[in-house]
Amino acid sequence: MELLLRELKNKKKKRLCVVNEFLTRWGAGGGSPPSALSAAPQRSRRARTVCGRQRAGPGAFPRRAASLLRPAMATGLGALLRASRRLLAAAGAGPGAVRAAHGPAPPRAKKRWLRAYLEQQRLEAPPRRRSEQPGWDYHAEIQAFSRRLQEDFSLDLLKTAFVNPCYVQSEEARRRQLGLEAGAAALALRDNGELCARGLPFARSQLGRCLQAAHPALPAPGTAALVAFLTGPELVAEVSRGLALQDLALCAQFPVPPPVLHRTFFAVVGALLGSSGPERTGIFLRDFLMPHLIGKDLFEIWEVVNPMGLLVEELTKRNISSPEPRITRQLGVNTVLPLYFVGLYCDKKMIAEGPGETLLAAEEEAARVALRKLYGYTENRRPWDYSKPKQGWTAEKAISSN
């Protein structure tokens, strides 16, 4: 169709006369276009005269070719005019009709599932070391770690604190597999064993001193239980992840296991002890470990098998008579879920009261309540004092207590 229209535009008046006459006759009749121009009425005299003048000349359109193209030209022009009539009628009716004339628009193919799918694939992917990702500078990360904690570390000690023995062993084994000799395969790196051996005893001693200062009535077994909780692998590994030690620690495995994080943390404590002294190290331990006692019950950490026996011992030390248990309240005794309240009395004064599903459980709970009061470790106790520590805790005192 485009080829025919292009030919009609480029040719001369002969073909233009034929098309104009065809459109005039068909528009006046209002019917469907004829299949060929031969079926149309005879042309006017003016049209015959104009067309007769164009018969000669090099640019004249051959009569044989024109007779062959007339049926196709008529059919194509009829389809074009019918489409133009529909579009003009729809334009007069409004934009909605124009859209209806063109047909319904195809639905938008929006991949709403793609973002959630990519996020799920990212989360399910195996973890990668930070050093294997772009934009990694180990020396800059070590310096940033020191500034982030606002501590003055010796960079050599801090780098040594992150070198674990498993990393050194794995690297030496890998070099031997590559065919290097025993002397060339050895790494000139010190692991953090020495720093950890300095940091862990100091941390236990410092935490014990802080707990004794805050709770002087707490016995040694209770203090040791709290110190063991604060320096345990699970808690220290959680603190280490919060400090991003797993990205800086040189370890053969990834993710870094909790024992390695525990060792690395106390190696960092040892590096801080060697860089800034015991006072700054004590503040570091207080700030990052002591807050984990908030909301913890004493007897959730310190397991006491016989609370009543321990209470009798503590009261005997204070020259107080032995407690006498009595039922103060009870509910649903004849049901499957009874509730008893047992009170402990000394010199006709109730010192504690505790609930329980049985009389024995209520008596033990009352003994635990009395012990919390004696030790000053109640739920409504005074918050931890984060003021500046007392001067005079020299390195000799801190290390000699080990």
Assessment of whether the complete model's pTM goes beyond 0.85: no
CA dist., res. 326 & res. 329, Å (int): 9
pLDDT of residue 328: 94
Strand partners, 331: 339
Ordered structural domains, the chain, with CATH: 2-102 (no CATH), 137-294 (1.10.1520.10), 305-375 (3.30.160.20)
pLDDT of residue 124: 87
CA dist., res. 178 & res. 305, Å (int): 57
Q: Kind of pairing, strands 324-331 and 339-346?
A: antiparallel
**What's the order of all strands across the beta sheet hosting 339-346?**
324-331, 339-346, 349-356
N-term to C-term CA, the chain: 101
DSSP alpha helix (H) spans, 290-383: 298-301, 307-317, 359-375
Of 122, 138, 26, 158, nearest to 82 by C-alpha is 26
pLDDT of residue 17: 59
CA dist., res. 378 & res. 298, Å (int): 8
Residue with tokens 């709403």: 112
Of 241, 289, 5, 247, nearest to 137 by C-alpha is 247
Q: Kind of pairing, strands 324-331 and 349-356?
A: unpaired
Whole-angstrom CA distances from 386 to 52, 164, 281, 287 are 114, 33, 14, 8
**Whether 384 contacts 292, CB under 8 Å:** no
pLDDT of residue 36: 43
Mean pLDDT of successive 10-residue stretches along the chain, which has 402 residues? 59 56 53 46 47 47 53 60 57 53 65 88 85 86 91 91 89 82 73 92 94 90 95 94 91 90 95 92 92 91 93 92 93 92 93 94 94 89 69 47 47
pLDDT of residue 37: 43
**Whether 273 contacts 154, CB under 8 Å:** no
**Whether 389 contacts 279, CB under 8 Å:** yes
CA dist., res. 76 & res. 2, Å (int): 10
* Displacement of CA 263 from its chain's centroid (Å): 26
Residues 6+ positions from 236 with CB-CB distance below 8 Å: 258, 261, 262, 265, 266, 289
CA dist., res. 104 & res. 234, Å (int): 63
CA dist., res. 207 & res. 48, Å (int): 118
**DSSP 8-state secondary structure symbol assigned to residue 250:** B
pLDDT of residue 201: 94
Locate 393 and state its tokens: 């805790």
Residue with tokens 């074009």: 80
Count other C-beta atoms under 10 Å from residue 206's C-beta.
Answer: 26
